[in-house]
């Protein structure tokens, strides 16, 4: 039996340390939410771009009905939907007048704008809040989420806060992909101090101070950018703003991003493609060592007890971490090669798409790496 080399041991040990460094801060947070002493201090505007979202909207709107907020308005932009999106919003607004839900019929998209950026810009134009929460229709918000989020922003003098999602998993393939989701937090160093090139941001939860959003130019400044969340986070940092990620503790919101494995691959292929424009080589290097820790550099049958202990410890740590971010199964950790394969294949497809500037469709619109 071949004995693993010193380099194999060192790579695995370094990967285990990277796992602890990147995910430890999230695991140290308690899962039980405490009631903040104070939050908000001003009107909160929740801004939702909605294009053909009749399936997701009922769950989202119902969660708004339970939000604890002293001064709340909701602005939903119907982005030229062809389904019952507008009717669902209108009916819910009429049934819940106290929520102050405003339906905005989206205007035709001007040249040079992406669809989502244009919808978000129109939502901002209709909003009056001191706090601006951009969120997606596939989210479901916790009752105390706004109070907790605005309190953190006030306490830390933040200009922008994003939050990791908690994934609802309704099928087996979703439950197996916990490692895949956690790999994204490692690659972006989500729970370390944000810096250009290593930033986690997600459009499902972007909470701005209004003054900061206006200062950095809002969605109008990034009108032709497809990766709006990362671009907004980078502009916040570049303009001297304070930015942070909330995650690992009690979730601010739940989400089910994709209803089929095909949609999952298509969606993440797009996200990876856009994210590569902001990525640094250090992300790939760290991921290499993390994989070495989890697989023993593929020395499954000749690991020995020391390397085996590192592999088992890494897997247990990963399995514990994934439960903070979704309804993921421990079976997904046991079938780790499945997530690794999906991660690598999507990455390769995304690199190809980026290199060849392949057009792709999203929400019924065709895009390349320019808006039109």
Residue 137, exposed/middle/buried by CB under 10 A (0-12, 13-18, 19+)? Answer: buried
Tokens describing residue 90? 């209108």
pTM of the predicted protein model: 0.89
Of 358, 327, 332, 356, which Cα lies nearest the Cα of 343? 332
The residues of the chain that CATH labels 3.90.550.10 are: 44-260
Query: Which among 256, 254, 257 is positioned nearest to 141, based on CA atoms?
Result: 254
pLDDT computed for residue 1 by the predictor: 47
pLDDT of residue 319: 94
- CB neighbours of residue 312 within 10 Å: 13
Q: Which residues, in sequence order, are CB contacts of 59 under 8 Å at separation 6+?
A: 140
Apex CA 80: angle with CA 121 and CA 224, to 5°?
40
Closest to 367 (Cα-Cα) out of 298, 270, 276? 270
Question: pLDDT per position in the chain (372 positions), as tens?
Answer: 456 677 888 899 999 999 999 999 998 876 666 667 678 789 999 999 999 999 999 999 999 999 999 999 999 999 999 999 999 999 999 999 989 999 999 999 999 999 999 999 999 999 999 999 999 999 999 999 999 999 999 999 999 999 999 999 999 989 998 998 898 899 899 999 888 778 899 999 999 999 999 999 999 999 988 789 989 999 999 889 999 999 988 999 999 988 888 888 877 777 777 666 666 788 889 988 999 998 876 665 556 668 888 989 999 999 999 999 999 999 999 888 888 788 888 888 777 777 777 666 656 665 555 444
Residue that has been written with the tokens 């494995």 in this structure: 261
**Distance between CA atoms of residues 49 and 363, nearest Å:** 12
pLDDT at 32: 64
Pair 177, 291: CB distance under 8 Å: no
Q: What CATH number was assigned to the domain covering residues 44-260?
A: 3.90.550.10
């Amino acid at each position: 039996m071949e004995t693993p080399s010193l380099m194999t041991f060192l790579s695995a040990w370094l990967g285990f340390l990277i796992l602890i460094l990147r995910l430890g801060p999230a695991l140290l947070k308690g899962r039980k939410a405490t009631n903040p002493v104070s939050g908000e201090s001003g009107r909160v505007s929740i801004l939702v771009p909605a294009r053909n979202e009749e399936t997701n909207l009922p769950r989202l709107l119902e969660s708004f009905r339970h939000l604890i907020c002293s001064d709340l308005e909701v602005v939903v932009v119907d982005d030229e939907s062809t389904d019952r999106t507008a009717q669902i919003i209108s009916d819910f607004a009429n049934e819940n007048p106290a929520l102050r839900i405003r339906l905005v019929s989206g205007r035709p998209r001007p040249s040079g704008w992406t669809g989502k950026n244009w919808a978000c810009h129109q939502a901002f134009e209709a909003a009056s809040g001191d706090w601006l929460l951009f969120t997606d229709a596939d989210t479901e918000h916790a009752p105390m989420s706004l109070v907790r989020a605005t309190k953190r922003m006030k306490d830390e003098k933040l200009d922008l806060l994003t939050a990791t999602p908690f994934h609802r998993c309704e099928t087996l393939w979703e439950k197996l992909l916990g490692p895949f989701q956690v790999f994204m937090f490692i690659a972006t160093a989500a729970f370390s101090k944000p810096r250009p090139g290593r930033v986690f941001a997600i459009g499902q939860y972007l909470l701005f101070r209004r003054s900061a959003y206006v200062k950095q130019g809002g969605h109008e400044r990034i009108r032709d950018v497809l990766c709006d969340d990362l671009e907004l986070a980078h502009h916040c940092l570049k303009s001297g703003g304070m930015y942070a990620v909330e995650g690992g503790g009690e979730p601010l919101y739940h989400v089910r991003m994709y209803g089929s494995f095909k949609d999952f691959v298509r969606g993440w292929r797009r996200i990876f493609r856009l994210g590569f424009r902001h990525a640094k080589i250090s992300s790939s290097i760290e991921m290499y060592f993390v994989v070495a820790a989890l697989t023993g550099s593929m020395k499954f049958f000749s690991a020995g007890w020391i390397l085996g202990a590192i592999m088992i410890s890494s897997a247990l740590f990963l399995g514990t971490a994934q439960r903070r971010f979704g309804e993921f199964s421990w079976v997904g950790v046991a079938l780790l090669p499945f997530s690794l394969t999906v991660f690598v294949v999507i990455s390769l497809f995304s690199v190809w798409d980026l290199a060849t500037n392949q057009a792709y469709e999203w929400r019924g619109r065709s895009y390349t790496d320019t808006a039109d």
